[in-house]
């Protein structure tokens, strides 16, 4: 379902469900991280919400449409490294959807959140209750997620400045300006 559209010179890229997913995941992860010591039950429910969102995102990454499909933005290591090299040389190509660096970031974020949820759940089981190793892994992954989020936000800012577009606004409205050189599938 598309929201009321802007002028014809913009392209609808991010579906409502991708945008709702993105901001809901950001909120649940932030909540889980900020409440990890203060309100334990809210930390746990934020974690449950995050893992449920990850499962939903994986489903529409495989079975969804357009730019939400993993096949449209997850690239192999050589393409991703080449794109990162192009960023360093300030000649990266603009993508309507996620670029190769964004694709690998999404995979990294989803996997890290899933592993954090797994280790969090493990700490509630009889087998791993009080196991300091599992708790240490959980905290290490959570801190690693903070690093990934910082890299993600930095990448959004770099791409926004490099391509002279507001990617945060695009993730709110769903609309981006087209580029004649863009391939619709990337």
Q: What's the pLDDT score for residue 59?
A: 96
pLDDT at 8: 62
What is the rounded CA–CA span in Å between residue 47 and residue 121?
Answer: 9
Of 149 and 5, which is predicted with more confidence?
A: 149
* Mean pLDDT on 142-152: 97
With cut-offs at 50, 70 and 90, classify the pLDDT of residue 129: confident
**pLDDT tens for each residue of 1-45:** 555 555 568 899 999 999 999 999 999 999 998 887 778 889 999
Beta bridge partners of 12: 175
Residue 39 is predicted with a pLDDT of 82
Calculate the average pLDDT of the chain: 90
Q: Which domains does the chain have, with CATH numbers?
A: 11-176 (1.20.950.20)
Indicate the pLDDT class of residue 49, thresholds 50, 70 and 90.
very high
pLDDT above 70 for 110: yes
Residue, of 101 and 2, whose pLDDT is higher: 101
- pLDDT over 50 (residue 185): no
Q: Is 115 exposed, middle or buried (0-12, 13-18, 19+ CB in 10 A)?
A: middle
| Of 27, 74, 55, 57, the residue nearest 117 (C-alpha) | 55
């Amino acid at each position: 379902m598309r929201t009321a559209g802007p002028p014809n010179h913009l392209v609808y890229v991010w579906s409502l469900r991708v945008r709702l997913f993105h901001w809901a995941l950001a909120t649940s992860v932030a909540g889980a991280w900020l409440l990890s010591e203060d309100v334990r039950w809210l930390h746990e429910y934020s974690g449950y919400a995050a893992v449920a969102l990850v499962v939903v995102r994986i489903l529409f990454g495989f079975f969804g449409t357009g730019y939400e499909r993993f096949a449209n933005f997850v690239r192999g290591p050589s393409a991703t490294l080449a794109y990162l090299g192009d960023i360093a040389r300030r000649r990266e190509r603009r993508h309507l959807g996620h670029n190769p660096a964004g694709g690998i970031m999404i995979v990294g974020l989803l996997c890290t959140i899933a592993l954090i949820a797994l280790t969090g759940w493990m700490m509630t089981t009889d087998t791993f209750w009080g196991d300091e190793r599992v708790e240490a892994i959980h905290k290490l992954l959570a801190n690693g997620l903070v690093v990934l989020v910082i890299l993600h936000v930095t990448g959004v800012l770099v791409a926004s400045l490099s391509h002279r577009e507001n990617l945060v606004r695009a993730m709110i409205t769903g609309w981006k300006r087209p580029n004649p050189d863009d391939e619709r599938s990337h």
